[in-house]
Every structure is written in C-alpha cells, then in structure tokens.
Amino acid sequence: MSTADATTGRPFEGSARLGRSGRVLADARGEGRAALVGYLPVGYPSVEHSIEAMRALTEGTDGRGVDLVEIGMPYSDPVMDGLAIQHATTRALQHGVRTRDVLKAVEAVAATGRQAMVMIYWNLVEHYGVDAFARDLAAAGGSGLITPDLTPDEAGPWIEASDVHGLDRVFLVAPSSTPDRVMSTTHACRGWVYATSVMGVTGARSETSDAAPVLVERIRSVAPELPVGVGLGVSTAAQAAEVARFADAVIVGSALVKCLIEAESSRDLGALRGVVDALAGGVRGLG
C-alpha cells in the first residue's frame, strides 16, 4: 500500500471536531500524505535556543519542515519520557524554565505560520489555573493541548475551558486501552487522537510496533471523523514512511531531541534540519 493509498479516500466528517490542529492533518492527507509532527521541549539547551530549534523544525533545509510543532513543557516527574527527552527536560528545569516560557515558544511558532500544540503534564496547568492557561495559550496562538496524564473522566475543567477558548483536546490511547476506554477517550478529543504505538516510554527504536496499525483501526472504528497520529519510536525516514501508510500523522520526538543533545556545545542546527528533511521525505513516500 502506498502512502497516497492510505491517506486518501476516507473523507473526514464532523469538521467542527477537527479543530485547528486536526485540519492541518486533514489538509496533509488531502495532499495524499500523512502529516509530520515534530516534538521539542522548551528550555533546552536554553529557552532562546529551543525556540530557534522549533523554528528550524518548521523549515528543514528546503522549506518543507514539519506540519505541526509539538512543544513539550518540562516536568520533574514525567510518566512517559525516554532517556533523551529526560536528559533535555532535566537540563531545562535546572536552567530555570517556567510554564510561561512555553507560551513564548507558542508565539514564536505561530509567527512562522505553523500551528503549535503543547504537550504538558496536568499538574502544571492546574497550578497555573486551567482557564487562565487556556486563555493565555489561545492568546499566544496555540492550537490546544496534548495531555499524557489526563483522562477524559478527570478532564471536566479542561473540557470546559477548551470549549470557551476554542482549543483542541488531544488525549492518548494505548494498545492496552479497553474498548470502552478507546471510545470514551476518542469521543472527548477535538483535533485528533494520539495513538501511542508501544507500551512504555518514548525513545527512538530500530523498528516500529506491530500493534500500531491495529490500534489505529480500533480508534477509527469508533471515531472515523478524527485523524489519528502515531508516536513513540519513529526515528528514520523509512519508519516515517511505514507509519504514514496507516496513520494520518507521524509524531517524532526523541530523534529530534538527540540532534540537540549531540550539538549541545556548538548549538548548530544543521543536523536537526537534516533529520527533518529526511522525515518530511518519508511521510511523502520519497525516502
């Protein structure tokens, strides 16, 4: 099956549920490909350089870049971050990154014309104030939140605030999720659904998960109106092309963060741009 075969022919319904970020994924599929979502945490190796790196994600070397930037807010007790992301976020916290810095990063990404989603652990939003965070995120130009440790049955304040401020809600579904959990989670989403393709923490892997296509089909069976993004483990153009055959978005994080770690002293973004180029080619079936 080609990337084009997988990403066309299934028109989305209920466009109101697509939100801003889901429309990005739907538009990519309208071009006969999957979207590319790139993750970087704010604050590593500094707030300013992390924002420069996020701009580089939107450009690559040839202007294609990622379709959507996922901005991570460092947290002292993450539940799903692998070693590379743990290293970067720990350093960011040591350097004094603050929740407001993620809003600064959102503004910078929005200024490039690309949309930004924030990946954040819920305690930080509660500490900031749920409605206040939603208000400030919308004012900064953000599209919404990805909340890895928040389930829909505990998300009443966020659902209300996101409705008020027009923000997307992306919850996570795992291979271990029960049918009832898949249904309740996807029905609470607006924008798209995040499918974690493997059990465990993030990190680049030598091969993608056999469970991912099955999970995507489970999600689509109950929420055909929403795109599905697959993350955890994609690191190469070949893997991106493989996931693009069955998912609406390919999410890459650790492979990008490793570029910043390897260039921490020089702070050169050439390698990062090159990885983005390869991944962008992968989702287009060119790699």
Q: Burial-class residue 112 by CB neighbours within 10 Å (0-12, 13-18, 19+).
A: middle
pLDDT of residue 287: 57
d(CA 260, CA 43): 12
CA 248 to chain centre: 12
d(CA 164, CA 220): 27
pLDDT of residue 79: 63
Q: Which of 70, 242, 248, 277 is catalytic?
A: 70
Residue 70 is among the residues annotated as catalytic for this protein: yes
Q: Cα dihedral sign for 69, 75, 78, 82? A: positive
Structure tokens, 66:
């990622």
Structure tokens, 159:
């659902």
User: For residue 80, what is the DSSP state?
Assistant: S
Q: Which of 81, 136, 242, 277 is catalytic?
A: 81
Which residues in the chain land under pLDDT 50?
1-9, 199-207
pLDDT of residue 198: 60
Domains of the chain: 3-282 (3.20.20.70)
